């Protein structure tokens, strides 16, 4: 009786298809009906973290489906199509249905964090990586005030304390415990000289070339619209640190030459012009001379205002000092990202 009802329902549906499309040839109508019911796996390939599971389904299949794995040591599959990653490797999960076999390629990954514990000094950085995976990774810090982490696993030690850096991938969380200690080491002048030359050589070899023909490396902060550069001035044979600030109609530059292997005395110049149709243009030029060892993350540098227009002298100094703190932060990050160094090892010994 059930078979008769199924046959009647199919005939009615098929007749409706022909009535709706009277010009449709019988052979083509049958082909369309058969194509709509073709079995297919819910996925043709996927990656799976070791120990995790994922369900495969054979769509448009009403009968019994037999599931098998080409490599049970890598991935197993239950009679319900539940795939489990056993160890790193690859395997085919097969669904056998009515004499046909449908395959899904599975790659099982066994990710591993590059370190489970790290001890860093304040003001230093370290790169964490989650190895053996091509799946997306989300990085998090349990305490960003102690140790922050970028979207690429770049850890920055902020202040003394402990934090956990987590990498979440494939439904699994991998953790590294970061212990941050207050920086105590002061590099010798010999160390400063070696690292200074290391920066020079790196810029010569890997840097781009500016309009003056001098090589440079650069870091752009799209959020703050700042550009941090370290240039090797070939004529003076010195490193030149430049930051360009651009925000809401204001354009400013911070420029200083650094030659700490020979002298710890630094000269910096700050220039700013702010033009807006609704206000009178503001201009500032300020200069400072200071010892490299006196520069700290939160410290202030004493600027002398040499030129100003439509701005109070105290405000001009404050703007120059804020720009200097921002500039040093950007230069420090640039050195870390490109060479794994900090300003501390170029003679800015109080930079923490």
Tell me: the pLDDT tens digits for 130-169?
999 999 999 999 999 999 998 889 898 888 999 999 999 9
Confidence at 279, pLDDT banded by 50, 70, 90: low
- Could you check whether 40-109 and 112-181 share the same CATH topology? yes
Q: Mean pLDDT of all residues in the chain?
A: 86
DSSP 71: -
Number of Cβ within 10 Å of residue 311's Cβ equals: 16
Average pLDDT over residues 76-103: 96
CA distance 109 to 99: 32
Phi and psi torsions of 185, nearest 5°: -80, 135
CA distance 214 to 235: 9
Pick the closest to residue 132 from 150, 114, 149 (CA basis).
114
Q: Is the pLDDT of residue 330 over 50?
A: yes
Q: Which residue has the higher pLDDT, 121 or 243?
A: 243
Q: What is the pLDDT of residue 352?
A: 59
Average pLDDT over residues 170-199: 89
CATH topology for 40-109 is: Immunoglobulin-like (2.60.40)
What is the SS3 assignment for 67? strand
Confidence at 221, pLDDT banded by 50, 70, 90: confident
Residues listed for the chain: 352
Domain 112-181 has CATH 2.60.40.420: no
Q: Is the pLDDT of residue 171 over 70?
A: yes
CA distance 282 to 250: 9
Number of Cβ within 10 Å of residue 94's Cβ equals: 17
68-77, 117-126, 179-188: range with highest mean pLDDT? 68-77
Q: What is the pLDDT of residue 293?
A: 84
CA distance 14 to 16: 5
Tokens at 304, concatenated: 């002398």
Q: Is the pLDDT of residue 306 over 50?
A: yes
**Is the Cα torsion angle 148, 154, 158, 160 positive or negative in sign?**
positive
In sequence order, which residues have a C-beta less than 8 Å from that of residue 219 and are 6 or more positions away?
A: 227, 228, 229, 330, 333, 334, 337
Q: Domain segments of the chain: what residues?
A: 40-109, 112-181, 189-346
pLDDT, tens digit, 9 for 90 and up, residues 11-59: 444 444 444 444 445 444 444 444 557 999 999 999 999 999 999 999 9
Cβ proximity of 81 and 55 under 8 Å = yes
| pTM, full prediction | 0.53
Phi and psi torsions of 139, nearest 5°: -100, 140
């Amino acid at each position: 009786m059930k078979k008769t009802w199924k046959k009647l329902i199919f005939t009615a549906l098929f007749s409706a298809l022909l009535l709706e499309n009277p010009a449709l040839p019988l052979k083509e109508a049958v082909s369309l009906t058969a194509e709509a019911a073709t079995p297919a796996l819910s996925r043709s390939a996927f990656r799976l973290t070791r120990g995790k599971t994922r369900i495969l389904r054979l769509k448009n299949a009403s009968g019994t489906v037999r599931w098998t794995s080409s490599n049970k040591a890598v991935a197993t599959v239950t009679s319900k199509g539940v795939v489990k990653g056993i160890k790193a490797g690859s395997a085919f999960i097969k669904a056998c249905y009515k004499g046909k076999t449908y395959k899904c390629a599975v790659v099982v990954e066994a990710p591993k964090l590059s370190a489970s514990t790290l001890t860093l000094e304040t003001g230093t950085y370290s790169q964490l990586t989650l190895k053996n995976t091509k799946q997306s990774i989300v990085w998090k810090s349990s305490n960003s005030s102690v140790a922050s982490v970028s979207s690429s696993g770049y850890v920055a030690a902020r202040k003394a304390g402990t934090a956990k850096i987590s990498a979440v991938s494939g439904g699994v969380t991998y953790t590294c415990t970061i212990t941050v200690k207050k920086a105590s080491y002061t590099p010798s002048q010999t160390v400063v000289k070696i690292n200074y030359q290391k920066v020079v050589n790196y810029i010569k070899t890997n840097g781009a070339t500016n309009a003056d023909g001098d090589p440079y490396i650069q870091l752009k902060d799209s959020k703050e619209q700042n550009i941090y550069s370290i240039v090797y001035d070939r004529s003076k044979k010195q490193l030149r640190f430049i930051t360009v600030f651009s925000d809401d109609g204001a354009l400013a530059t911070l420029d200083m030459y650094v030659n700490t292997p020979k002298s710890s005395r630094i000269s910096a110049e700050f220039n700013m012009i702010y033009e807006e149709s609704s206000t009178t243009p503001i201009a500032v030029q300020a200069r400072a001379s200071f010892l490299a060892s006196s520069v700290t993350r939160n410290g202030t540098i004493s600027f002398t205002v040499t030129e100003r227009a439509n701005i109070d002298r105290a405000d001009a100094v404050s703007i120059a000092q804020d720009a200097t703190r921002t500039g040093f932060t950007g230069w420090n990050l640039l050195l870390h990202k490109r060479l794994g160094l900090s300003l501390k090892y170029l003679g800015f010994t109080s930079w923490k």
